[in-house]
Amino acid sequence: MAARLLIEDGHDVTLHARSEARAADAKSALPTASGVVVGDLSSIEETRKVAEQANETGRFDAVIHNAAVGNREPRRIETVDGLAHVFAINVLATYVLTALITAPERLIYVSSGLHLGGSADLEDLQWANRPWNGHHAYSDSKLFEVALAFALARLWPTTCSNALEPGWVATKMGGPGATDDLALGAVTQAWLAVSEEPAATVSGAYFYHQKPSPTHPAVHDLDVQSGLLGACAELTGIEIS
C-alpha cells in the first residue's frame, strides 16, 4: 500500500519479497514497481544479499523498513543462524539492511504502539534463558526498532531517520479484529519517505498518523542504543559506523 501511494505520486519504487514466488506475486499486484529485491530476512546471509541487490540499483532516496513478524508465535522458533525468529527479522535484519544499504536521505522504521510495553533489557535478546512469550518478544523487538531509528538519527546527521506506528490494522499480523483504519496504515510511511513538509523532514521522531506520538523512554537512552548496536554487530560481524 505504501508502494502504491508512492508510485501514484510519481516515484520509482523497489519492492522486497521473501522468495521468488512472492516476488512474482508482488510484481503482479503492483506491475508499475521498478523491481523487486528478494531474500528471506530470517537469514543473515540472505539479508546481506537483499542489501547487495538494493545497492546494485543505485542509491535510494528513502528506505522503508516495514517487514516484520507478529506476536503470535506460540514457542521460540530458531532461524538458520540459531537466533530467535522474532528478533532476527524484526531487529537484526533491519540492522543489517541499514548497515549495508548505501545510506539514503531518509530512513523510515515501522514500529508498533506495543513497543510502549516492551523491555530494553539487552541480556537475553534471544530468549534463551527465560520462558517464551510471543507478545513480549514482539513488543521488545519494536522497542529496539525505535531505538535503532533514533540511534541512526544521532549517528548519521545527513539522513532523516524516523519511526512510526501504523495503528492496529486488519492485516494478517493484526488479525480481523483490528480497529484502526487500514487505509491510513501506509500513509505516514509514504509521507515520511517523500514529503517536503517541515513536519516530515525532521529526524529522531516517532509518528502515529503523521503526528508526533509518545515513545518508551528507553529508546532515547544512549546506553540502550549503543548496547543494541554492539549486540547486533557481534551477532552479524557488521558494524554501523
Q: Is 27 a catalytic residue?
A: no
- Dihedral of the alpha carbons of 10, 106, 36, 88, in degrees to the nearest 10: -150
Q: Which long-range contacts (CB under 8 A, 24 or more apart) does 53-60 make?
A: 54/14, 54/97, 54/101, 55/100, 55/101, 55/102, 57/14, 59/102, 59/104, 60/14, 60/101, 60/102, 60/104
CA distance 211 to 199: 8
| Catalytic site includes residue 138 | yes
Bridge pairing between strands 160-165 and 106-110: parallel
List 109, 142, 206, 208, catalytic entry: 142
Interatomic CA distance for residues 68 and 78, integer angstroms: 15
Reduced to 3 states (helix: H, G, I; strand: E, B; else coil), residue 69 is coil
Burial 91-103 (b: 16+ CB within 10 A, else e): bbbbbbbbbbbeb
Give residue 128's region: left, alpha or beta (phi > 0; psi -120 to 50): alpha
Catalytic residue among 27, 49, 109, 138: 138
Q: Are 67 and 19 in contact (CB under 8 A)?
A: no
Helix H segments across 156-240?
Answer: 187-194, 222-236
Nine-digit cell string for 151: 540511534
Active-site annotation, residues: 138, 142
